[in-house]
Structure 1
């Protein structure tokens, strides 16, 4: 009787009932593995220049299974208005740990020349919308190869080089020993996004003589398709310069040249923009401060 009571409570297991339960257990094994999931978790612009933009797409892959899952291939495609721009495949992209998640980084480089060659109507300075399509191929035990398709829309610019020109020179103090002045540089932003000028590196030459060579740190915001003025102080010793400089200051002579670099902030990240400009004598005449 005691034994029967134990059987009723499950303390003793019937071997026959155990055999009958084996097929059910095999069915549970077949459904033991689950399909991994994936989502685009981030988009980053690593570097932007006048020639190209380097971006990274972050894909978060989650593995709910008790064993690591290998990523076989990652196939990506960049399109805009149904025009294919770039595609590629990343082989053997790694492994997603058991009951865990991994962020897979997909590096992509967009060359502006290729974009412009594809689109006749794209103008420099525009913001372009892209469609990023990603397909992850994963090998899951028992289930087999699984495809995880993803898609995300992103925006990057096709930057236009700002035009830097000398608007005027204003002299604060003029003498043979030391002359101080200010260069008023006009910066024209032809882009459809704002530019925040942080640093200006410049070399200013009158005739064949180098007048100033320095770095100026000044924060100036220039709105989209707008203009701004950078006031750059310079100091030089006229007596140490050639006669050509005096001709230029008097409004005669060949003129000036500028070379340098702007460091700017954009909504898409920082940029270094080189510039060079040559001008005639009429732009470097002395002008008094008001």
Structure 2
């Protein structure tokens, strides 16, 4: 009897492994606005849903690092759903306090940008499978705002 149970278990595991799952990528990371209490950066996620029905996103968690140090971490609970059979774009705003940017002076002085690593966990609720996390990662440079950006209506939170 246990042999039948093992075969049934393996059959279900194989079938679940073959179910198409949404795919995601970090399409862009950049400067959004300057406020009194920090600088807001924006990451754009592109998420492709292979199903004909929308799929709810449970949470998006993120960690922004520079020079190997975590400068920001957070999450967006319940950011919405992924539309069926299309690519959904999601904006993930990350507010970095001015005090943290000041601590990155050595990197900033070299080329007026922050070399970053962004790690994102996109948690979606798939039918039958349940919660499924899509890990995403991106490395690059985020240009810092110039003095002009403070006076161009960049935001005044």
Provide TM-score, normalisation by structure 1: 0.42
Matches within 5 A, 1:225-236: none
- Relative to structure 2, which stretch is displaced further, 33-42 or 83-92? 33-42
Contact preservation (8 Å) 2:107, 2:115: no
- The question of 1:80 aligning with 2:63 is answered no
Cα-to-partner distance string for 1:111-169 (whole Å, 9 max, x where unaligned): 2322323x4745667322111111101111122221111112242345676xxxxxxxx
| Shift of residue 47, structure 1, vs aligned partner | 1.7
Q: 5+ unaligned residues in a row in structure 1: which ranges?
A: 1-25, 162-263, 265-269, 274-290
Give the 3 Å change call, closer, same or farther, for CA 126–98 of structure 1 in structure 2: closer
The correspondence for 2:29, drawn from 22, 25, 43, is 43
What's 1:136 paired with?
122
What's 2:151 paired with?
272
Q: 1 CA distance for matches of 2:105 and 2:28? A: 30
Contact preservation (8 Å) 2:30, 2:143: no
Give the 3 Å change call, closer, same or farther, for CA 50–95 of structure 1 in structure 2: closer
Pick 1 or 2: higher relative contact order, CA cutoff 8 A, min separation 6: 2
Give the 3 Å change call, closer, same or farther, for CA 143–271 of structure 1 in structure 2: same
Q: 2 CA distance for matches of 1:107 and 1:45? A: 10
Give the 3 Å change call, closer, same or farther, for CA 135–105 of structure 1 in structure 2: same
The correspondence for 1:114, drawn from 100, 105, 113, is 100
| Shift of residue 61, structure 1, vs aligned partner | 0.7
Give the 3 Å change call, closer, same or farther, for CA 127–43 of structure 1 in structure 2: closer
SS of the aligned residue for 2:151 comes to: strand
What's 2:48 paired with?
62
Provide TM-score, normalisation by structure 2: 0.72
Contact preservation (8 Å) 2:24, 2:48: yes
- The question of 1:101 aligning with 2:101 is answered no
What's 2:3 paired with?
none
- The question of 1:156 aligning with 2:136 is answered no
Cα-to-partner distance string for 1:216-249 (whole Å, 9 max, x where unaligned): xxxxxxxxxxxxxxxxxxxxxxxxxxxxxxxxxx
Computed over aligned residues only, the root mean square deviation of the Cα atoms, in angstroms, reads 2.9
Please identify the structure whose Cα radius of gyration is greater. Answer: 1
| Shift of residue 53, structure 1, vs aligned partner | 2.3
Give the 3 Å change call, closer, same or farther, for CA 157–45 of structure 1 in structure 2: closer
Contact preservation (8 Å) 1:40, 1:150: yes
